[in-house]
Amino acid sequence: MDKKNIGRGATILTSGNSKKFKTGSWKNRYPSHSKEKCKNCMMCVPYCPEGCIKQKDGILQGMDLNFCKGCGVCANVCPFKAIEMKEI
């Protein structure tokens, strides 16, 4: 086999390109955040497998639904029930 003719396959050649591919379009439910119930404990932030929960200065700002898969982990770990999963 001639090694010169082997393609690169699924190699990712540039870093940061995952931001171009919005992967949350196939979900069937999404997290809805209640600012009234939320105590900004940030329990949800480290549990989100996609890093979709945005916070600034210890205040939860919301979810990036462009990348959220709708798994519901954030709603399950919230001790104040401030995140509810809703059907699309």
Is the per-residue pLDDT at 44 higher than 90? yes
Q: What is the mean pLDDT of the chain?
A: 88
Distance CA 31, CA 72 (A): 7
Can you give the pTM of this predicted structure? 0.77
Which pLDDT score is estimated for 1?
53
| CB proximity list for 9: less than 8 A, separation 6 or greater | none
pLDDT band at 19 (very low <50, low <70, confident <90, very high): confident
The CATH class of 35-88 is: alpha beta
Which residue ranges make up each domain of the chain? Answer: 35-88
Strands (E), 1-88: 29-33, 53-56, 59-63, 83-87
